[in-house]
Structures are given as structure tokens and as C-alpha cells.
Structure 1
Amino acid sequence: MSTSIDHARHTPYSDPGRHAERLAAVPADPAALSAVARNVIVHYLASGAELPVATRGDINARWLEHLLTLDQARHPAPLAKRRRLVDRVQGCCRDHTLFSVGVLRSHGVAARSRVGFAGYFIDGWHHDHVIVEAWIDGRWRRFDSEIEHPRATIPNPLDIGHCDLDTPGFVTAAQVWAGYRRGGVDPETYGVGPDVPVFRGARFVFDQVIYEIAHRFGDELLLWDAWGRIGEPGSPVTEEDAVWMDEIARLLLASDRGDADAERALLERYRADPGLHPGPSVLQASPFGDPTIEVDLASR
């Protein structure tokens, strides 16, 4: 079994399947592909528009091929051709990122999704967020394909520098967990939103680190899927789980610093530990409050 991941190759989640030609026609340039991602996908909560109830199930399109099938059923046209906002595929940051990663991999560019928190939407709050990380010009470059225009807190969405916890940029879930365990982070300011009391805090950050490692190694699952040691929202994190997570976060942070040994150890740990790696199925919850269901990951 390989001890590394080729991020230029499609995963089952980013594979466009029957839509390969459509996706390959999208340029690999971050600005261009981000514009197309926003044209195809609309955030199910943050668009400012009243989106159709009939298409809200779009948000569970975990496979890029499925997402593109939804789009093409409504718009059998090139992906760059303008879609009306209300007719776009409903999704979130994970989907904008998966689309962008899919485009880049279709062009042979190494790319992966990074899971963490963005401090550039609301002052003093850190939203759970997913952005793109691609190997461009000899470095891992991060960009947010969901954001169209620069703002004071993110002057260049197409090249987001690696930030520390005191900067209102993007930080990984592992950074936040490590900061929390050092006593320098209030986890109650990290979550879905300041008006959502349950989906925040230490449990939420803990679960996000599991999402982070899964996405890093090609299991780009939905942000409301559960498996392994992902816990009930709002539940306490045991000291045993916290110590277990400390080592995972340490390996993630070392890997981001370019430690190849840590990256190999992290991948081996991910593959071997059922607390980290999803099995043949996951539990899919719903941001709309629909019943939780078990989803067979082999039934693409």
C-alpha cells in the first residue's frame, strides 16, 4: 500500500465521471475556476436569496459527478454559461472547494480541500469553512473559491497566506485544537455561527479535525456526516479522546510544516484507526433537521 497520496489524481468524490469533458473545459486558473464554481453552486444559506425548497436536497450531493448531474439536468450547457442564482445547485463551502479541486485534478494539478475556520466573515467569530489548497508555482497555495471580491479581512481570496490564530484569516482545525489545548483559544467562538448555540465549542473543533484529516487524504465527505469518534453535537470531549486528538493534531501541524515523516505517520494512522477513517458507511445528518440516515459509501 502506498505511503503517500497523489493529490493530482481524482478521488471517488472529485471524479467527474460522465462529465469529465465538461469539467476539463474549465480553466485551471484559480480566478477562472472559482467564478465557474460560484456559477454552478449557490450557498444554501448565505446567498441572500430565497432558494427553492424543491432543490434543497442538492446539499447531500457528496460525489462531484452527482453534483454535476444535478446541474446538467437543469442546464445542459458548458459550466461557464450563466445560471440563474435560484437554479444553481445548492451547496456550501465544501462543494465550491470540491468542484475547484476536481477542476485542478482534471488538469493534473495537485489539489486538496482544507478544513478549518475562517475569521473573515464576522468580526470576532470563526466559521467552520473549507477552502482549496493547490500546488501552484512550487508551493501549496490556498484560495477561497466561494468569495468573489476582496474585503478588508481577506484582501486576496485567491492567495490566502498561512495564518496564525490571532489573524482573521483561515486557520486549520488542527491549529485551533492545539491552541485550545494550550489554553490560548476560546472554542466557543468557533462553530457554525454566533446564533447557533450547539454547533460550536470543543466538541465541534474536535470533530472538525477528523474532517480535516479525512479531506486531506481524499475522503472529502459532507460536513454533516458522522463516523468514528465524531460525537453528538454539544457533547463533552473525554480526556481520553482529547489526548488521542492531541497526537493527531500534532501530526497534522508537523505535516503542514513539511515534515515528510509526520505525513507518512499521519496517513498510516488514518488508514489504521477506525476513529479517524470512515468505514463502508457513514451517518448523514441534515442542516435542515431531516432524520439522520445511514449512507453506503460504495453505492455511488
Structure 2
Amino acid sequence: MDYTRQTRFSNPRQHAALFDPLPADPDGIGEVVRNLVVHYRGSGIDFPPDRLTEIDSRWVDRMLDADRGRYAAPLAEPRPQSQRIVGCCRDFTLLTVAALRHKGVPARSRIGFADYFDPLFHLDHVITEYWDGSRWIATDSQLGLPDVRLSTGGLRPAAQVWAAYRRGEIDVDKFGVGPELPDELRGAAFVRNYVIYELAHRRGDELLLWDVWGGVSLQLGDDLAVIDEIADLLQSADAGDRGAERKLADLYASDPRLRPGDHITCATPDRAPSRVDLRRST
């Protein structure tokens, strides 16, 4: 897969020229993105319902529509925190990925569980990974962390967490959205879904973390062999196995449980689920 090319989700479309003045380095782009996005929960701001709808923008051009609705200034022009695009880690990441791709830098999003938020709980998180010409480097543009390990102590990709759970090495109930939240937002079934999300993002379907399709389910289910296979292939591909990368592409293309179709369900936090048509004319 060519990670310099925009996907249907990362494509800025009519806003592409806004990326032209940005620096070409990931740190500089991350600084601009932190000026554009505010976390819907982590900021502590009580956003009104009309602003909270921005967390479902999904496509980069629609995120930038929200910013353009408030500002005509360049993206690097300071925005007050309360007037930034309301989003989450996925949105910080996808804007960073979009800007890097615009600059010709291969970039993709990585989904997993971060060890650096809470010493007792591993929070779900999405960060950027870019190719520097010789290796993939992970960076957290939400927090401004320039070189994040994709392993213990950094961001553990969902595939790693699943494999460790299946080997009986971790307490999987300590992986999820937060220790104080409902049981369905942590644990084995939650990590299982994130393996599917990790694959989808790797294949260019950078959906929201509350989008539901195919094999995504609140139940652990009985299809664990395919999750085991995906997790194994993802780890092998990370280690440089090109055959594993090809197998992931074939599996994603052939198994309708793994990829979104024309419609998905958006299970937005604190709101009723809604059906979303992913087909777009532009």
C-alpha cells in the first residue's frame, strides 16, 4: 500500500491548499494539529451538543470544514482551545497523517493501548507512524511525543495486546477506554475489536473508534482464530515480513467481516447509534 496517497478519510479535498504552508517535518505538523483539535473528554471543557457532533466528522475535509466555519486564517494561526475542532486521538492522528501525505511523507495511523497515561490502566489510543526513509517512526501528535515505542512503555498495538492476552500474559481487563467506565469498554472483546480497527486503519479505512461493522461486536464471539491470524500477521508485518503484509491485504479484501461496506453504525459516545453511508460523491 502506498502510504503517501490520501485515503477517502484522510483526503482534505477542497482544503488541500491549507497544508501547503505547513512544515514538512512531523514535529512541526504536530504542533499545528494541536492548535486545531481539542479532545472532547480530555480537555475538561463542557461542549454543547452542537459542538460535540464534530467528533463524528470522520473525514478530514469535514474536520477542516468545522475549522473553516470559525476561521479564515491559516491553520497555524492560534485558535483558543474552546474553538478548536472537537475530536479525539484519532482526529489528531488523521490530520497529522493527511498533512504528512500531502508533503509526500508516507504515514499511517496506529491503534493500540498507551502505557504513558495511567500507571495502572492501559488507555486506548491512536498515534501517527511515518517513514523517515529507512524505518517507521511513531509519534504522538496529540501530546507532542516525537518518538514513541510500539511496545511496552509506549503504545502497544492492538495486535500485541491480543497476542499477550491469548498467551495468558496480561490482565486484559486493564486495557480499554478507562477503569471507571462500563465493562464493555474494556477487556477481551474490546481488544478483539481493536485488532480489526488496527487492520482497517492499516488498509486505509481510518474509521472512528466507535464505528461498528461486520465482525465488530460487544461479544467476544467464536471467530477467535481469524483474530489470532490477523494479530500474528500484523506483528510479522511490523517486523518487516512483506509476505505477511500481502496476506493481510488479501484477508482484508476477501473477508467481509473485516472491512466496512457502504454503511456502518456509528455508536457515538453518549448518543443513540446512527447509520452512516460511507459513499461520497466527492
Segment of structure 1 superposing worse, 86-95 or 45-54? 45-54
Aligned to 1:9: 5
Corresponding position: 1:202 with 2:188: yes
User: What is the aligned partner in structure 2 of residue 152 from structure 1?
Assistant: none
Counterpart selection for 1:169 from 128, 144, 154: 154
Quick one: which amino acid aligns to residue 253 of structure 2?
A: R
Aligned AA for 2:94? L
Q: Secondary structure at the match of 1:120?
A: strand
Deviation of 1:197 after TM superposition, in Å, equals 2.6
Tell me by how many angstroms 1:262 deviates.
0.6
1:160 corresponds to 2:148: yes
- 1:32 lines up with 2:31 in the alignment: no
Q: Residue type of the partner of 2:57?
A: A
Question: Secondary structure of the residue that 1:100 maps to in structure 2?
Answer: helix
Match of 1:262 among 244, 247, 250: 244
Instruction: List gaps (5 residues or longer) in structure 2.
Output: none
| 2:156 alignment partner, SS class | strand
List per-residue Cα deviations over 1:32-87 (Å, max 9, x = no partner).
Answer: 11111111100000013333433110000110000001101101110000001111
The one-letter code sitting in structure 2 at the alignment partner of 1:220 is E
Would you say 1:223 and 2:204 are equivalent positions? no
Matched, 1:273 2:261: no
Residue 143 of structure 1 is matched in structure 2 by 139
The separation in 2 between residues aligned to 1:265 and 1:193, in whole angstroms, is 33
CA offset at residue 294 of structure 1? Answer: 1.1
Alpha-carbon distance in 2 for matches of 1:203, 1:34 = 32
Residue 29 of structure 1 deviates from its aligned partner by: 1.2
Secondary structure of 2:276 counterpart: strand
Q: Quote the Cα distance in structure 1 between the aligned partners of 2:263 and 2:213.
A: 8
**Displacement after TM superposition at 1:183 (Å):** 0.4
Q: Name the CA distance, whole Å, in 1 between partners of 2:110 and 2:24.
A: 18
Please report how far the alpha carbon of residue 25 of structure 1 lies from its aligned counterpart in structure 2 after TM superposition.
2.0
- For 1:54-93, list aligned pairs within 5 A: 54-93=50-89
**Which of residues 179, 187, 207 is equivalent to 2:164?**
179
Whether the aligned pair in 2 keeps the contact of 1:224 and 1:287 (CA below 8 Å) is yes
Residues in 2 aligned to 1:25 and 1:223: alpha-carbon distance in whole angstroms: 30
1:71 and 1:88 in contact (8 A); partners too: yes
Rounded to whole Å, the distance in 2 between the matches of 1:95 and 1:299 is 19
**For the Cα contact (< 8 Å) 2:113–2:175, is it kept in 1?**
yes
The answer to whether residue 16 in structure 2 is matched with residue 20 in structure 1 is: yes
| TM-score normalized by the length of structure 2 | 0.97
RMSD: 1.1
Aligned residues: 280
Q: SS of the counterpart of 1:66?
A: helix
Amino acid at match of 1:8: T
Tell me which of 109, 127, 145 is aligned to 2:123.
127
Separation in 2, partners of 1:161, 1:285: 30
8 A contact 1:52–1:86 mirrored in 2: no
CA distance in 1, matches of 2:19, 2:196: 29
Distance 1:136 1:19 in 2: 26
| 8 Å Cα contact 2:150/2:157 also seen in 1 | no
Q: Is the 8 A contact 1:34 1:145 kept in 2?
A: yes
Give identity over the alignment, percent.
46
> TM-score normalised to the size of structure 1?
0.91
Secondary structure of 1:196's counterpart equals coil
Q: Indicate the SS of the match to 1:119.
A: strand
Compute the displacement of 1:28 (Å): 2.2
The one-letter amino acid of 1:276's match is: L
Aligned to 1:151: none
Q: CA deviation at 1:291?
A: 1.3
Residues 115 and 211 in structure 1, CA contact (< 8 A), matched pair in contact too: yes
**Deviation of 1:137 (Å):** 3.9
